[in-house]
Structure 1
Amino acid sequence: MRFNRKVIVIVLGVAVVLALILAIWMPYNTTISNMDFSVDDSNGNYHFEVNEKLNFALNDSLDYGDRDMIWYMGNGDTIKRVSNVFYKYKEKGKYMVTLSVDDKYKISKYIEVISLPKKKAKDSIARIYGADVGYVGEELVFSSYGPGIDSWYWEFGETGTVDAYEGQVVYIYKTPGMYNVKLKTNTSKYPVAHRIQILPLFEAIEEAEQLDSLSMAQEDIKKRLQTIADASIGNNRDYYRSLRHIENQYTCNDADEVIVVINGARYNDLYSYCQGLHHLEGKGEKTVIISEVAIDTFKCLKKIKVTQSLINP
């Protein structure tokens, strides 16, 4: 009995000592097992760049007290500090950053440092993107975007004042004429300009035409195409008036979907066909004759069959 009691006392003593050791060691070990750090870039574009100040920060740093910490930056540099360091890499590449605590607990992460291309001076110049020719009452879209631009001041030349303040705007001219569109931005000293010609609406006699039959519509389209073919290359007025007439009268404002079949064998979209008719075949040693136009409907048509020929003048 006395032997058993001694054994029991010894076992209990050992258990108490082990319990004390675990009580002291486990919180310390748990904190270390959850050790982690984050890396943040200073310009907020989510890239780690050459010569950019990067912030390496230990998560839950208050849990680490006065432990000895060493940051190994992956390029031979080391930083002895507590929980928060700033560092700039001089060269691009992949680096393994390691944080060592008490020279016993370590955590590592790979980061990639990149070198962004330098912006050329010309890339910072504001430019206006928009049509060169438009019509009275037409919704015309103008846009301009560039590095560092965050304010726009548009003048469309009709009102004499600033008309819009966004990067992309829609403007409707009320009067025909030649206008100088001006744009001033926060990155430019002087406004940039864009010329646009605004044409009038169709003449009253054209607006009053009532095309109440398929044959009349075919003859009308034939006349417009012949006008495009006969117009000189510099005569954009007749070209655009005839094209817009076909577009507005017969395509339900969906001219992009209209197919032109030439002499039963060749195919083009309406815009490409009219442009080729005007610039490529209408002038020079040969002349285009539009002899026949056939359509299935004059309301929202999708196909125009054209019979044409080239003759020597």
Structure 2
Amino acid sequence: MRETASPTVRVIVPATTANLGPGFDTLGMALDLYNHVELTETGEGFVVDVEGEGAASIPRNESNIVLRVVRQVYELAGRKPAGLRLRLRNEIPVARGLGSSAAALVGGAVAANELCGNCLSDQEILEIVTSFEGHPDNVAPALFGGVVVSAMIAEGDRTEVVSRKIPPPYGMRAIVAIPDFPLATKRARNALPAVVPFKDAVFNVSRTSMVILAFIHNDWDLLAKVMEDRLHQPYREPLIPGMGDVFSAAREAGALAAVLSGAGPTLIAFARENTAEVAQAMEETFARHGVSCVTKELKPCAVGAKVI
């Protein structure tokens, strides 16, 4: 008698860069670098396998946060699996500001939902994963792709995550300079002040609005003028040697703008051309500050998490 194969789902999820300069905890963009998640229903027990980026530091027991989100999806779907095998193959660097945890969580949630018959909506998946991540700026573009604007709105005893997707400018390239050291999000958050000057808040509101308009209208000239920030980058700069100089070098080499990717330490420059020159300038400038880095040329990714 032929044995019945265990149900298996495979999902790929893009990396993301959050904030995009002034859009702190609000804007995020998907990039064409991927984590792969495979989930299989088994007869008994819970097993986690990890390979690739961060494999040595990721738990392989029931404390694994991706397994936890998987089990929550099953619970909400009214299912109790006897066992699960979770396989994570990570191409996105861990703790570098490229949304590795959001990608893994989204992949786990989407895979679990697929095995449960897709009984949960995309909105429910968004809110489940956001509850694990704390904010949606990486989660939403990992799930939906493109550039996503998100907000968390309190309604009684629950918080709704509202998000809207817009296209990135056609022909954009993202040059990421990934330093050889990690930066925990908690440490980067602890560097931020409890209050900021009113004028800095107004500055960021205006720039965020303009960045969104620049994306919608494919307005490169506008984007080059408004991707500035006063709410988080100045306070995180001491954590990343040479950050300001790398920004300047990238722009001098032809980038339209250069910003901190998420909480860092990865720096990201946006350009239409001269991408090799921009990458070289970023590497050389980091090196002068004693930082070794890897550069990659990525493209905005229009598609989010995808069952393959």
**TM over 0.5: same fold?**
no
User: Which one has the bigger strand percentage?
Assistant: 1
TM-score by length of 1: 0.23
User: Which one has the bigger helix percentage?
Assistant: 2
Larger Rg: 1
